[in-house]
Amino acid sequence: MDFTNCTFIHGILIFLCVGCVQNKRKLKKNADDISESNSDLHLNSLQLLKRYGYPSERHSVVTDDGYIVNLFRIPRRGPPVLLVHGIGDSSDCWLVLGPTNSLAFLLSDAGFDVWLYNARGNKYSKGHTRNLSSKQYWNFSYEEMGSQDLPATIDYILRATSQTKLSYVGFSQGTTIFLVMCSMRPEYNDKIKHAILLAPVAWLSHLKFPFIDILTQNLEQLTALAENIGLYELFSENPALNLYHAQVCNISSPAKVLCDLEYYFSYGLKNISNLPVDRLPVIASHIPAGSSAKTFVHFMQGYVSKRFQRYHYYGGGKNTDTFGSPEPPEYNVSQVSAPVTLMCSEVDWFSGYEDVQTLRKFLPNIVNYVMFNKNMDFTHLEFVFGARVKALINDPVIRLLRYLE
């Protein structure tokens, strides 16, 4: 689960490290340097594809509840593969490492027809067929992504490609919503050739994010406060924040310690060189991409309840009205009959070893299971953004999908 760029963490780090920025002119010059030397910094998904000479298409999918979800496609003649990003992120995550290391480019080079999903509410998918109020629009969590976005997306891709099945690669929240879809709408299991779940997130009993207890000890009150002040969206795209991250995450920045500390406190990344330092400004400038406050609350509820369950409504009997019981039901992941590969790590703060073992007990069709041991120090972000991602994740993913052709 990608708790990207938590403003609470930013405040702490900036307070502690403001003395590191000795010269504002140096920082400004550094920003100019990275803008000139790295032209990927401000490019969106379609622009990144164009820059590297890949064909690209934009497709709009309308869900049953009226949300407009935008997909980007790298068309090829091979079998379709759907890539699904983590929380607060976008299709950019599959592209920002460039053509030699990013999974979307590598899959396209291998001949696959690549489709990049963008969750409702992120910077690429903010449309709706009706003129909703902000409160109405943002009234969704990861459940609607799984029960509405993914089925509509999969049906659209299969129609467009005249195929009956597609392969699926999800990271973090992208695994959560896959499990939701196949639990709530089990007929979609038959439309999945194979699902590769990177850093799977379902149960969150052993979440190691250091601020999670602070955030959840008064979760009901925080949820009510957000509702009262109209805080429905979190971590929307912010060009000023993107530029800040690009500056401090440059290897030559006098303020790089801010980047190091943020990535440690956010993801447990002890060694920033586990990410490709030459691409770090590009990675940092493309996240976050926005999501609903309700999505973050839903994940935090899972930590509190120790269950992989539907959204818990506080007060007023809405749980009983919605679910027929005072407690929301758990997702029945034993319904996930599609063939699944799990790839996880012992040191992952968000896809914890113990929680992955719980998931394994319930999934009926695990074909492959890969667990990186703690000596590898392979953290959550590295499943998509890591310096070792090509050798440890992308090449094995491509070999597996080729084998299934």
Give catalytic residue positions. 172, 380
CB proximity list for 9: less than 8 A, separation 6 or greater: 211, 262, 265, 266
Amino acid at 214: I
Residue 9 CB neighbours (<10 A): 18
What is the three-class DSSP state of 114?
strand
- Sign, CA torsion 214/219/223/224: negative
Distance of alpha carbon 120 from alpha carbon 149, whole angstroms: 7
Residue 87 CB neighbours (<10 A): 28
Distance of alpha carbon 371 from alpha carbon 374, whole angstroms: 9
- If you write DSSP's letter for every residue of 129-148 in order, what string do you get? SS---HHHHT---HHHIIII
Distance of alpha carbon 384 from alpha carbon 60, whole angstroms: 25
CB of 349 within 8 A of CB of 265? no
Reference 84, options 172, 180, 182, 160; nearest CA is: 172
